[in-house]
Amino acid sequence: MRYLLMVKAGKHAEAGVMPSRELVDAMSEYNERLAQAGVLLAAEGLQPSASGIRIAYPMPGDHPVVTVGPFLEDKKLVAGYTLIDVGSEEEAVEWALRMPDPSGYGEGEIELRQLKSK
């Protein structure tokens, strides 16, 4: 089963603050471990929502409304994700717990979501 490990954006990530060198190192070490265990499918970081675009359909059947970022509710935005292929939910959680605190400043948050099976 596939799990998506979403890293939530904090204020710092949204402001475009670069992660510390220690964190970048710890993150690449973590990705290496995932790869070596054969569970890593993909890992990407997203640019801050300042360069994001939203397309909404407030009226069914009508034209979409396009808004450009930044978006305000920064706590809930996604800053990056890692896609893994594991045998159980527990295994996914164990891997997520091994990820370094992705943000620091008390803002770090990872959300795990199972992918609908293909």
Partner 1 sequence: MRFMMIVKATKDSEAGAMPSTELIEAMMRYNEELVNAGVLVAGDGLHPSSNAIRISYPEPGGKPKVIDGPFTEAKEMIAGFTMIEVKSREEAIEWALRMPDPHGFGEGQIELRQVFEAMDLTQDPELIAKEAALRERAERLKN
Partner 2 sequence: MSASATHRTIDAIWRIESAKLIAGLARMLRDIGLAEDLAQDALVIALERWPDTGIPDNPGAWLMTTAKRRAIDLLRRNKLRDRKYEEVGREIHAYAEDDIVGALDGEIGDDLLRLIFTTCHPVLSQEARVALTLRLLAGLTTDEIARAFLVAESTIAQRIVRAKRTLNTAQVPFEMPVAHELKERLSTVLEVIYLLFNEGYAATSGGSWVRPLLCQEALRLGRMLAEIAPSEPEVHGLVALMEIQSSRFKTRVNAKGEPILLMDQNRALWDRLLIRRGLAALERARSLGRPLGPYALQAAIAACHAQARTAEETDWARIAALYEALARAMPSPIVELNRAVAISMAFGPLFGLQLVEELTSEPMLKDYHLLPSVRGDFLFKLGRFDEARSEFARAASLTRNERERDLLLKRVAECPISE
Which residues contact partner 1 (rule: CB under 8 A)?
2, 4, 6, 18-19, 21, 24, 28, 31-32, 34-35, 40, 42-47, 49, 51-61, 64, 66, 71, 73, 76, 78, 80-81, 83, 89, 92-93, 96-97, 99, 101-116, 118
Q: Scan residues 36-55 and list those touching partner 2 (CB under 8 A).
A: 36-42
Q: How many beta carbons lie within 10 A of that of residue 70, not counting itself?
A: 14
From the list partner 1, partner 2, none, partner contacted by residue 76 (C-beta under 5 to 8 A by kind)? partner 1
Rounded Cα distance, 24 and 113, in Å: 24
Separation between Cα atoms, residue 87 and residue 76, nearest integer Å: 28
Least separation in angstroms between residue 66's CB and partner 1 is 7
Q: Count other C-beta atoms under 10 Å from residue 87's C-beta.
A: 9
